[in-house]
Structure 1
Amino acid sequence: MKKDYKKYFLAGPIPLILVIILFYLHPVNEGPPRSEYSEGIWNNCNFTKPAEEWSAAAKRFGGENAVIDLVVAQAHENDLTYLPFPFEKSENVYSYSQTDQVEPYLKKFDEDGLKVILSIQPNNADVADLIDIILTRYGHHESIIGVNVDMEWKLTGNPCHVSNEERNLWLNRVQKYNPEFKLFLTYFKDYTYFPDDAEDVVILYDGEKATQTTLMREYGNLASHYTSAGIYTGYSSSTPPTASHKSIMAAAPNTQYILHIV
Structure 2
Amino acid sequence: MKILYTAFIILLLTSCTSAPAQTPAKLEAGYRYSPYGPTFNPGNEYWPDVGKQIAAKFEGARPAVIWIVGIISGEGTYLNFNCETADPNITCGYVDMNEELLTAFDEQGYDVWLQVEAGNASMDELIDIVLNQYSHHPSVVGFGVDVEWYQSTKGPQGEPITDEVAQDWVSAIRKHNSNYRLFLKHWDSAWMPPTVRDGIVFINDSQGFESFDQMVGEFTEWGKTFAPAPVGFQYGYLADKPWWKDLQDPSKEIGQALIDNIPNTQSLFWVDFTIVEMFPPK
Question: Common fold, TM-score beyond 0.5?
Answer: yes
Residues 171 and 36 of structure 1, relative CA distance in 2, 3 Å threshold? closer
Partner of 1:65: 62
Counterpart secondary structure, 1:225: helix
Counterpart secondary structure, 1:224: helix
Deviations 1:90-143 (A, max 9, x none): 310112x32111111111111111110001110111212111110011011100
Partner of 1:234: 236
Alignment of 1:56-95 (within 5 A): 56-63=49-56, 65-76=62-73, 78-88=74-84, 90-95=87-92
Q: Aligned partners of 2:269, 2:256: CA distance in 1, in Å?
A: 15
Alignment of 1:57-206 (within 5 A): 57-63=50-56, 65-76=62-73, 78-88=74-84, 90-95=87-92, 97-155=93-151, 159-189=158-188, 191-195=189-193, 196-206=195-205
Say whether the 8 Å CA contact 1:197–1:225 is kept in structure 2: no
Deviations 1:174-217 (A, max 9, x none): 1111111111000011x221012422210000000112322222
Say whether the 8 Å CA contact 2:234–2:270 is kept in structure 1: yes
Residues 84 and 51 of structure 1, relative CA distance in 2, 3 Å threshold? same
Q: Aligned partners of 1:80, 1:179: CA distance in 2, in Å?
A: 28
Q: Aligned partners of 2:137, 2:26: CA distance in 1, in Å?
A: 24
Q: How many residues align?
A: 224
Q: Higher relative contact order by CA 8 Å / sep ≥ 6: 1 or 2?
A: 2
TM-score computed with the length of structure 2 as normaliser: 0.74
Q: Aligned partners of 2:41, 2:238: CA distance in 1, in Å?
A: 21
Partner of 1:254: 264
What one-letter code is carried by the residue in structure 2 that aligns with 1:168? Q
Counterpart secondary structure, 1:237: helix
Unaligned runs of 5+ in 1: 1-34
Identity across matched positions, percent: 25
Say whether the 8 Å CA contact 1:45–1:70 is kept in structure 2: no
Say whether the 8 Å CA contact 2:203–2:234 is kept in structure 1: yes
Q: Aligned partners of 2:166, 2:35: CA distance in 1, in Å?
A: 24
What one-letter code is carried by the residue in structure 2 that aligns with 1:109? F
Counterpart secondary structure, 2:175: helix
Say whether the 8 Å CA contact 1:219–1:251 is kept in structure 2: no
Larger Rg: 1
What one-letter code is carried by the residue in structure 2 that aligns with 1:192? A
TM-score computed with the length of structure 1 as normaliser: 0.79
